[in-house]
A and B are shown apart, each in its own frame.
Chain A
Amino acid sequence: MKTLRDTWIVFLRYLGLFVHNPAWIVIGVVQPLLYLLLFAPLLKSIAAAPGFPPGGAYNVFVPGLLIQLGMFGAVSVGFSLIAELRLGVIERLRVTPVSRLSLLLGRALRDILNLLIQSLLLILVSLPFGLNIHPVGLLVMLALLALIALLFASLSYAVALWLRSEDAFAPLVFTAALPLLLLSGVLLPLTLAPAWLRAIAAINPLAYAVDATRAIFNNHLGSVSVAKGVLIVAVLAFLALAVAARSFGRAAA
């Protein structure tokens, strides 16, 4: 009960910070549109390549864009936390009886909401171009994206609490995120990849999320890959949440 209430209060603070910053809103809207505008024209020609998976070009690429948007959006949330550490805001919050889990969850919910709005925007804008998705599929997709955001936002906050400096945070986070992304089949479908690359991708949790996303966009909601992807991401997200909440509790120095 207390945790729920605290989470709501923390969520409102960070939502307010976001809403009152017009720059963030503009970036939030422009980013997904940029992805479409600059990426979509390439789709038509490549969709004819041999080995290209079935489904319309948009149904093949939008899932990848969504995951990419979610992941890069979420891994960078730690930056704002480092600024707050420096200002002493986090220390001030940690002296209050507020639940440590709420300190993390309230922020992460804001990040999730932000990502879901961006994703919806991307999906809506793609509809006129021939993207089609079942309404239930859309809900499952948003749930999966929320879990992805929770996973990577939690990791980002944990790393920020550990490193406490933007200079160390940026290279580490982006270096870690890149191979995950490349080996997930987000940019190009892994069906095009040689066997050894597919073998490495098999241990990449993000690859399962991408598989699930593709299945959703192919209207195979009942397929195993959807359940598998959602389950794997959910388990990892809750592990990451536990780790990050613990870091908020300790946050020495």
Chain B
Amino acid sequence: MDSSASERSHTESAMIETNGLRYSYKTRRGPVEAVAGVNLRVAAGDLFGFLGPNGAGKTTTLRMLATLLPPDDGEATVAGCNLRREPQQVRERIGYVGQRGGTDPAITGRNELMFQARLYGAPAETARKRAAELLTVLDLEVCADRPTGSYSGGQRRRLDIGLGLVHRPRLLFLDEPTTGLDPQSRAYLWDEVRRLRDGGTTIFLTTHYLEEADALCNRLAIIDHGKIVAEGTPDELKRQIAGDVVTLGVAGDQQAVLALLAQQPFVRNSGTEQGLLRLYVDRGETAMPAILRLLDGAGLELQTVTLTRPSLDNVFLRQTGRSLRETAA
């Protein structure tokens, strides 16, 4: 979509570069492999989207990059610093907004922001000013002096993001910034994220929403079972799918229909999902009549037919075998 941004990402210096990052959680019932060798490159200025179904390893990857978890294996450079050798420098340069947020319900938003600014080294007066500034920018003045326990979901999420921004980091990690928000709050956060990007902040965000990734991000990576399964601009990823998708609802023997259609030359790929057959075809408008003729001839009954142009959802489904909508928390 944003072609200038995607070109930039290949020429300019990397903000994040990882090589073979791995992490297994050590549990009482043995290790759980969460990230199984992740290679990523995020350029300065990117708005990078990290997609994947539940449990794919998104949060674990982020937590490693934010110095919260020491990688079992692999190397990474984050904001120009070596993750293993210079964690303190990495911390000074990045902002991180966790999936759960991280505010105390008994403390006011203003005090949380001031405390956070002081942790990053600001003197009291500077911290006060910065807090006031962020409260204005994030439209939180109405609730600034109330304990955060009384905030609405959207207000709390905006405060979380403000906490990640107090020290004006050049790289910001956002773990599912909009999950659980109403459409209005989400639109507001999208604008905020774009403003940050325009201001030169590199943003690495995870999301369950493909339309979010499509609308916001100039580069995407899809992770599944701890491995990157696809990477590129939204357009590149959609082009990988090429062609159209025909979805069929079958009344009777699904396997018979699948067997019949899968061997047709115009069908590139096929699969079933939740009682629906999905065919990837070169040209949907000519494939549809052919499909109908074939099924008629074989005496197989059809309930529904839909034709869709490729979307990121299809990419996701192809890469992970799951539809992102079902996995969304």
Contacts and interface: CB of A to CB of B under 8 A. Distances in A.
A89 to B, nearest CB: 5
A21 B103 CA distance: 17
A96 to B, nearest CB: 4
B106 A97 contact: no
B121 A97 contact: yes
B104 A84 contact: yes
Question: Interface size for chain A: under 10, 10 to 19, 20 to 34, or 35 or more residues?
Answer: 20 to 34
Interface in B65-109: 66-70, 88, 91-92, 94, 96, 98-107
A166 B196 CA distance: 40
Contact of B98 (A6, A92, A98): A92
A179 interface: no
Contacts of B92: 97
B41 interface: no
Given A87-B104, A96-B120, A253 B25 contact: yes
B119 interface: yes
Question: Interface size for chain B: under 10, 10 to 19, 20 to 34, or 35 or more residues?
Answer: 20 to 34
A16 interface: yes
B104 A9 contact: no
A17 B94 contact: no
Contacts of B66: 95
B35 to A, nearest CB: 13
B120 A97 contact: yes
Contacts of B118: 9
Contacts of A97: 88, 91-92, 119-121
Contacts of B119: 6, 9, 93, 96-98
Contacts of A16: 107, 111
Nearest to A252: B69
B266 interface: no
A13 interface: yes
Nearest to B87: A97
Interface string A71-110: 0000000000000100111111111111000000000000
Interface in B12-65: 25-26, 63
A93 B163 CA distance: 10
Interface of A: 6, 9, 13, 16-17, 20-21, 84, 87-98, 252-253
13 contacts: A13-B107, A16-B107, A87-B100, A89-B103, A89-B104, A91-B98, A92-B96, A92-B102, A92-B116, A95-B67, A97-B92, A252-B70, A253-B25
